[in-house]
């Protein structure tokens, strides 16, 4: 049983015999090894009672909820177990002090753009004509002269626009055409994949934040809004190109998806259950893939890389070591 469980069926999730038990509406059931589960993603209509939530909370299992369209809607984030008033104060300090906030916002975007360049360079080496790389490089140089958070975000927006326009060259399968990034609703299949992949990534990062002392409500690039989680959105910028986008290129170029895996709803295009399962399998595989981490001197999974990015941020906040974003060499 994987550490992450994805529930697509409709049914009831309960505590039974000191473990978790899922009863599918059609009468099937399954016991889940509570000691080995880290998070449960709920896509189906699932009934939960307080007893189950208390049990999940005690076992520190996070629930991520998605709506009918596969959008992330929220999480059940058990009472925090890694509490540190010290880190919280430092997190706030780095938000309120504009220069400190700007530094972090800038570094997150620097990581995002650098990793976009890494991804594009890989395809250029494979012989794809990606002339936009020069434009992106120029914008990257410009990044460091931006003063406000809005300006920093604007640079990132421009880079992404150019980057997405190159997707058609990278994706060989002509069933998938990208015109421009559209979110709500996604207007084509590639946009549906990006939206779904990003949703998953936000939830994975949130789960990792849970295992640190950081408060997910305080972000730096994405304005802190005390009702929503934003730190996971910040960190996601760094990982989108090397996790989500690479999975998209992989599954489309290997013809693992076809238009049968999508459907049209509310003028938008969405992944169907079959498509979501394929995507999840591949992104899970990606998260388990390991790469060599020089400073640590051992192999770590992509999932672990996310955690370590958060550790770097914590060290920055406590004044131990300045934060530099992960720039993929792989």
Partner 1 sequence: MCGLLNINMAYVNGTLIASYFICKRELWFMAHELTPDQDNSFLELGRFIEEDYYKREEKGFIVGEMKIDIVKQGDENVIIGEIKKSSRSELTGIMQLSYYLMRLKEIGIIAKGEVLIPKERKKIPVELTKEIEEKLRKAIEEIQMIIMEPFPPKLEKIPYCTHCAYREFCWS
Partner 2 sequence: MYVIMVYDINEERVNKVLKVGRKYLTWVQNSVLEGEITEAKFEKLKIEIKEIINPEEDSVIFYIFRTTKYTEREILGIEKNKKDNMFL
Note the residues at the interface with partner 2 (CB under 8 A). Answer: 1-9, 11, 17-19, 22, 24, 30-36, 277, 280, 284
Distance CA 254, CA 246 (A): 12
Contact between 81 and partner 1 by CB under 8 A: the answer reads yes
Query: Please, which of residues 310-329 interact with partner 1 by CB under 8 A?
Result: 311-312, 314-315, 318-321
**Within positions 288 to 307, which residues make up the interface with partner 1, using CB under 8 A?**
295-297, 300, 304, 307
- Four-residue CA torsion sign, 194, 199, 204, 206: positive
Q: Which of 56, 60, 80, 111 is nearest to 308 (CA)?
A: 111
Whole-angstrom Cα distance, residue 246 to residue 133?
A: 17
Closest CA to 278 of 239, 306, 250: 250
Which entry of partner 2, partner 1, none binds 256, CB below 5 to 8 A by partner kind? Answer: none
Give CA–CA dist 54/158, Å, rounded: 45
- Pick from 2, 58, 83, 121 the residue near partner 1 by CB under 8 A: 83
Cα 287 to its chain centre, rounded Å, is 11
Out of 16, 59, 100, 211, point to the residue binding partner 1 (CB under 8 A): 211
1 contact choice in partner 1, partner 2, none (CB below 5 to 8 Å, kind-dependent) = partner 2
User: Given the complex with partner 1, which of 84 and 173 has the nearer CB atom?
Assistant: 84
| 107 interacts with partner 1 by CB under 8 A | no
Least distance in Å: CB of 44 to partner 2? 8
Interacting positions 249-278 with partner 1 (CB under 8 A): none
Q: Where are any strands of DSSP class E within the chain?
A: 4-7, 11-16, 19-24, 29-32, 39-42, 46-48, 62-66, 72-76, 262-265, 268-271, 290-293, 298-301
Residues that bind partner 1 (CB under 8 A): 81-87, 211, 213, 295-297, 300, 304, 307-309, 311-312, 314-315, 318-321
């Amino acid at each position: 049983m994987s550490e992450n469980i994805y529930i697509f069926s409709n049914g009831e999730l309960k505590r039974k015999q000191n473990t978790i038990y899922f009863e599918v509406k059609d009468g099937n059931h399954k016991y889940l090894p509570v000691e080995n589960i880290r998070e449960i993603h709920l896509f189906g209509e699932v009934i939960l009672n307080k007893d189950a939530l208390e049990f999940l909370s005690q076992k520190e299992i996070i629930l991520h909820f998605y709506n009918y369209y596969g959008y992330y809607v929220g999480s059940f984030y058990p009472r925090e177990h890694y509490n540190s008033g010290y880190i919280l104060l430092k997190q706030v300090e780095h938000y309120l002090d504009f220069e400190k906030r700007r530094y972090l916002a800038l570094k997150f975007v620097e990581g995002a753009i650098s990793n976009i360049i890494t991804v594009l360079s890989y395809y250029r080496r494979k012989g794809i004509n990606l002339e936009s790389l020069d434009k992106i490089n120029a914008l990257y140089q410009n990044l460091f002269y931006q003063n406000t958070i809005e300006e920093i975000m604007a640079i990132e927006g421009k880079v992404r626009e150019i980057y997405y326009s190159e997707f058609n060259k990278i994706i060989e399968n002509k069933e998938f055409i990208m015109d421009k990034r559209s979110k709500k609703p996604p207007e084509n299949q590639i946009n549906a994949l990006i939206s779904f992949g990003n949703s998953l990534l936000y939830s994975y990062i949130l789960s990792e934040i849970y295992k640190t002392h950081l408060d997910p409500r305080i972000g730096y690039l994405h304005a802190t809004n005390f009702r929503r989680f934003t730190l996971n959105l910040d960190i996601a910028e760094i990982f989108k190109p090397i996790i989500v986008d690479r999975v998209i290129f992989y599954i489309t170029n290997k013809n693992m998806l076809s238009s049968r895996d999508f459907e049209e709803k509310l003028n938008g295009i969405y992944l169907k259950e079959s498509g979501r399962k394929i995507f999840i399998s591949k992104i899970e595989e990606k998260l388990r893939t390991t790469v060599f981490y020089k400073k640590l001197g051992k192999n770590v999974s992509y999932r672990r890389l996310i955690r370590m990015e958060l550790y770097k941020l914590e060290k920055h906040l406590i004044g131990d070591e300045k934060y530099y974003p992960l720039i993929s060499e792989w």
